[in-house]
């Protein structure tokens, strides 16, 4: 008799250190992608400057396009930007803000909560991708 189950073959659960590493790796990947997008934008800008000789010689319309490109990049890749919201689903506090001690403690608690939410999201995705196993009875 064959019986299908949705149980996974391994019951590995990540430790807190593993979860912190996964979150840190995702955060580093986000910043690497943002930097790569910035370099791509800078290369396009440098080509335009080379074509016209200097920024001052560029037509105003092209200068506006360059400004719009940088503004779009900032909206997408900056802290609390579209890409961060898409990947993490949370808004990380900006480091430039000076916080009081109680606010810093609350900020750390919020970050821990955001990290836990992110890791729970990853675990939920793993559970959804579980394999179906077939058990045989002899």
Domain extents in the chain: 17-51
pLDDT in tens, 114-130: 777 777 777 776 666 55
Confidence of residue 45 (pLDDT cuts 50, 70, 90): very high
Task: Encode pLDDT of 9-41 as tens digits.
Answer: 667 787 888 888 888 898 899 899 999 999 999
> What pLDDT was estimated at residue 131?
47
Task: Return mean pLDDT, the chain.
Answer: 77
Whether the predicted model's global pTM rises above the 0.85 cut: no
Distance CA 122, CA 136 (A): 31
Contacts of 124 (CB under 8 A, 6+ apart): none
């Amino acid at each position: 008799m064959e019986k299908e189950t949705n149980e996974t073959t391994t019951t590995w659960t990540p430790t807190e250190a593993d979860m912190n590493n996964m979150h840190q790796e995702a955060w580093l990947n986000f910043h690497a992608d943002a930097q790569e997008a910035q370099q791509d934008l800078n290369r396009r800008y440098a080509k335009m400057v080379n074509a016209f000789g200097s920024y001052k010689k560029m037509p105003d319309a092209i200068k506006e396009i360059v400004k719009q490109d940088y503004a779009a990049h900032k909206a997408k890749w900056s802290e609390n930007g579209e890409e961060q919201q898409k990947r993490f689903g949370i808004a990380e506090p900006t480091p430039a803000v000076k916080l009081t001690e109680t606010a810093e403690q609350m900020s750390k608690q919020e970050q821990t909560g955001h990290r836990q939410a992110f890791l729970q999201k990853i675990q939920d995705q793993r559970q959804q991708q579980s394999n179906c196993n077939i058990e045989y009875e002899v």
